[in-house]
Amino acid sequence: MRYELYYWPGIQGRGEFVRLALEDAGAAYVDVARERGNSAMTAMMDAKASATPPFAPPFLKAGKQVIGQTANILLYLGSRHGLAPKAEAGRLWLHQLQLTIADLVLEIHDTHHPLGPSLYYEDQRGPAKKRTIEFWKERVPKYLGYFESLVATRGGPYVTGRKITYVDLSLFQIVAGLRYAFPKRMQQFERNIPGLLALHDRVAARPNIEAYLASERRIAFNEDGIFRHYKVLDL
Amino acid sequence: MRYELYYWPGIQGRGEFVRLALEDAGAAYVDVARERGNSAMTAMMDAKASATPPFAPPFLKAGKQVIGQTANILLYLGSRHGLAPKAEAGRLWLHQLQLTIADLVLEIHDTHHPLGPSLYYEDQRGPAKKRTIEFWKERVPKYLGYFESLVATRGGPYVTGRKITYVDLSLFQIVAGLRYAFPKRMQQFERNIPGLLALHDRVAARPNIEAYLASERRIAFNEDGIFRHYKVLDL
């Protein structure tokens, strides 16, 4: 089956967590907005026109099904493509981890948008500074400490132990994104997460991921996405 | 099976979304922290001690399984207790809706904690005011408009049409909570969501829910939870 991925074309964003899974699995997919523009995406979000209209991108068309919410898409794809266990208990555990990553992603976004997504960063610089300080002081250690402890206590190199899952692909993205957005802060912090750094390197070295990262389908991080390099926040 | 629910004892919070489903289903459960204190809860979050340590409450012990993340718990419970379809496509659609509700819940919490959960509200009053204004201007219409349109286009009275699901129980909680936290703002806004108000009333009238709401297990909203009545934010 050839999937259709719907996401904003100019950023990695939340769509990237889905792309990494599709690419690692070697699944056939078309990135619709990048190839054909946004109008199909907007049409599918119309409640009058669609049986299951997503609230927002990303969403995946898989045959007749339209599946939204990043973690939900990965829940659907994971066990179908060898990136998650098949049994329910293991799937729910992985899904729980992905939902925790989604919470972290939202907090990363809120370092530059603490007053909400409908205002520009430039209109919330003061609160952004304060949020960022608290984020690095309290939240990064809590979230990344948790995932580091999972790698350590499961025997590694991945969060469930020896077998890679889509959660590991997402953690690669978290490490890469934080290094882009907060190079100074991350350089100081990352000595605390050797397991996650090793995980990042292993994921990057996987043949399909390596090929993807070198391709034009992997667009660069920029200041429109989740991970933004605002120097004034990276003290 | 008798479930064990683990959540902070003094608030409704995210745990309430799980309680409403357990209560509506008439499922046997013990609210562990309320009955026995927090120490068991904390122990289960220790990565060295547990096979699947949750990052945070709420989490549910179901036999040997420990399931965390509110929407994930409802995903597990829903089809087992007649509150979700059994087939995968319907379960994923409902789950997607619940994840959208979870995003709304986080934004509701951020009206009083825009600078993050590790600071007190009293240390972020200014940003809280600004966030709240944007929230009511842009975000409430977007989120509640979406759910209202689902009720309208599915023929109602529930978001998937004639059959109630755990998403409807959660939407009841959203309406009740917003009325508590922002009585003036909600009084103005709610004329836009007649379908959701009717849904709220239907849920409240369900026998098990009605009994629960009248019981001592339903603690009152307060200013420690997600929905907080700060008058200065409710202009």
Tens of pLDDT along A166-221? 999 999 999 999 999 999 999 999 999 999 999 999 999 999 999 999 999 999 99
Token pair in block for residue B64: 């040997």
* pLDDT of res. B91: 97
- Please state the pTM of the whole predicted model: 0.97
Query: DSSP of B29-90, one letter per residue?
Result: EEEHHHHH-SHHHHHHT-TTT-SS--SSS-EEEETTEEEESHHHHHHHHHGGGTSS-SSHHH
A171 in a structural domain: yes
* pLDDT of res. B183: 98
Which residue shows structure tokens 């984020």?
Answer: A135
Q: Report the relative pairing of strands A29-31 and A3-6 from DSSP bridges.
A: parallel
Return the DSSP state at B221: P
User: What ranges in chain A are assigned the alpha helix state H?
Assistant: 15-25, 32-36, 39-44, 70-78, 88-110, 125-134, 140-154, 166-181, 183-189, 194-205, 207-214
Cβ contact A138–B116 (<8 Å): yes
Residues of chain B with pLDDT under 50: none
* pLDDT of res. B181: 98
A96 in a structural domain: yes
Average pLDDT of chain A? 96
Token pair in block for residue A59: 């969403």
A32 in a structural domain: no
Scanning every residue of chain A, which has its alpha carbon at the shortest distance from the alpha carbon of B142?
A55
Which residue shows structure tokens 């023929």?
Answer: B155
Asked if residue A101 lies in contact with residue A171, where contact means CB atoms within 8 angstroms, the answer is yes
- CA-based nearest distance A214→chain B, Å: 32
Scanning every residue of chain A, which has its alpha carbon at the shortest distance from the alpha carbon of B72?
A96
* pLDDT of res. B17: 98
Burial class (CB in 10 A: 0-12, 13-18, 19+), B137: exposed
- Report the residue from B54, B89, B118 with minimal CB separation from A139: B118
Mutation test of the interface with chain A: which of B6, B59, B93, choosing the one with the most A Cβ atoms within 10 A?
B93
* Cα gap B221→B235, rounded to integer Å: 20
Cβ contact B110–A107 (<8 Å): no
Cβ neighbours of B149 in A, within 8 Å: 47-48
- Is residue A4 within a helix (H) or strand (E), and if so which, with residue range? strand A3-6
Which residue shows structure tokens 């109630």?
Answer: B164
B15 in a structural domain: no
Going edge to edge, which strands form the sheet with B59-62? B29-31, B3-6, B59-62, B65-68
* Cα gap B211→B208, rounded to integer Å: 5
* Cα gap B144→B150, rounded to integer Å: 10
Q: Report the relative pairing of strands B59-62 and B3-6 from DSSP bridges.
A: antiparallel
- Is residue B199 within a helix (H) or strand (E), and if so which, with residue range? helix B194-205
CATH classification of the domain holding A126: 1.20.1050.10
* pLDDT of res. B47: 87
Instruction: Provide the pLDDT confidence category of residue A131 given band limits of 50, 70 and 90.
Output: very high
- Report the residue from B55, B67, B150 with minimal CB separation from A47: B150
* pLDDT of res. B48: 87
Q: How distant, in Å, are the alpha carbons of A54, B151, B184 from that of B194? A: 22, 10, 17
Token pair in block for residue B105: 């819940």
A64 in a structural domain: no
Q: Give the number of domains in chain A.
A: 1
Tens of pLDDT along B47-85? 888 899 999 999 999 999 999 999 999 999 999 999 999
Scanning every residue of chain A, which has its alpha carbon at the shortest distance from the alpha carbon of B50?
A153
Cβ neighbours of B151 in A, within 8 Å: none
**What is the average per-residue pLDDT within A157-167?**
96
* Cα gap B107→B224, rounded to integer Å: 16
* pLDDT of res. A224: 97
- Report the residue from A72, A110, A149 with minimal CB separation from B96: A72
Mutation test of the interface with chain A: which of B42, B60, B75, B115, choosing the one with the most A Cβ atoms within 10 A?
B115
Tens of pLDDT along A29-85? 999 999 999 999 999 999 888 899 999 999 999 999 999 999 999 999 999 999 999
Does the structure's ipTM exceed the value 0.85?
yes
Cβ contact B99–A71 (<8 Å): yes
Asked if residue B203 lies in contact with residue B134, where contact means CB atoms within 8 angstroms, the answer is no
- CA-based nearest distance B59→chain A, Å: 10
* DSSP-derived 3-state class of residue B117: coil
Burial class (CB in 10 A: 0-12, 13-18, 19+), B160: buried
- Is residue A65 within a helix (H) or strand (E), and if so which, with residue range? strand A65-68
Asked if residue A74 lies in contact with residue A166, where contact means CB atoms within 8 angstroms, the answer is yes
Non-local CB neighbours of B115 within 8 Å, separated by 6+ positions: A114, A127, A130, A131, A134, B123, B124, B127
Domain range holding B96? 88-206
